[in-house]
């Protein structure tokens, strides 16, 4: 169990367990509808675009762009004190889905909306790995 001074880590539930299992293996996977072809995230039992139940967990490219972001200067808890300033961003993946994460690997003030990024998996322990994003070349 985490103490207040440790970064909160994911607690997978039935809907998100496949996502976190893939992340632990170094893959970014999301449900894809085999009827209309769209990906979606957060996982649902029905395709949010066409209502189909024909969903398959499918690996994503791990590439996308910064859709929105903020720079956190004041840690929300002692667990984040050593990280400030850091970037919390919404990434729009090439597959069209969005997810909230951190942008790492560059100074926070270098992050821009539309900046190309790619996933970088950061392992915290045997149970928890997080998909963070870093600037992508080119
Ligand atoms: Zn669909």
Q: How far is the CA of 54 from the centre of ligand 1 (A)?
A: 8
Cα distance between residue 80 and residue 85, in whole Å: 9
Q: How far is the CA of 46 from the centre of ligand 1 (A)?
A: 8
CA-based nearest residue to 4, from 74, 72, 75, 78: 78
Q: Where are the alpha helices (DSSP H) in 5-133?
A: 17-24
CA-based nearest residue to 132, from 100, 96, 85: 100
Name residues whose C-beta falls within 8 Å of residue 118's C-beta, 6 or more positions apart in sequence: 62, 63, 64, 133, 134, 136
- pLDDT tens digits for 67-104? 999 999 999 999 999 999 999 999 999 999 999 999 99
Q: How far is the CA of 32 from the centre of ligand 1 (A)?
A: 8
Cα distance between residue 16 and residue 11, in whole Å: 9
- Which residues lie near ion ligand 1 (Cβ < 5 Å)? 33, 35-36, 47, 49-50, 52
Q: How far is the CA of 50 from the centre of ligand 1 (A)?
A: 4
- pLDDT tens digits for 30-68? 999 999 999 999 999 999 999 999 999 999 999 999 999
pTM: 0.91
């Amino acid at each position: 169990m985490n103490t207040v001074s440790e970064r909160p880590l994911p607690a997978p539930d039935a809907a998100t367990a496949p996502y976190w299992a893939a992340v632990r293996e170094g893959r970014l996977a999301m449900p894809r509808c085999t009827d209309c072809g769209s990906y979606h995230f957060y996982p649902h039992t029905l395709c949010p675009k066409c209502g189909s139940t024909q969903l398959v967990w499918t690996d994503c490219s791990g590439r996308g762009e910064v859709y929105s972001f903020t720079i956190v200067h004041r840690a929300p808890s002692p667990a984040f004190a050593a990280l400030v300033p850091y970037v919390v961003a919404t990434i729009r993946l090439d597959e069209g889905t969005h997810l909230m994460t951190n942008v790492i690997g560059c100074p926070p003030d270098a992050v821009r909306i539309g900046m190309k990024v790619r996933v970088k998996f950061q392992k915290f322990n045997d149970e928890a790995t997080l998909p963070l994003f870093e600037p992508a070349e080119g």
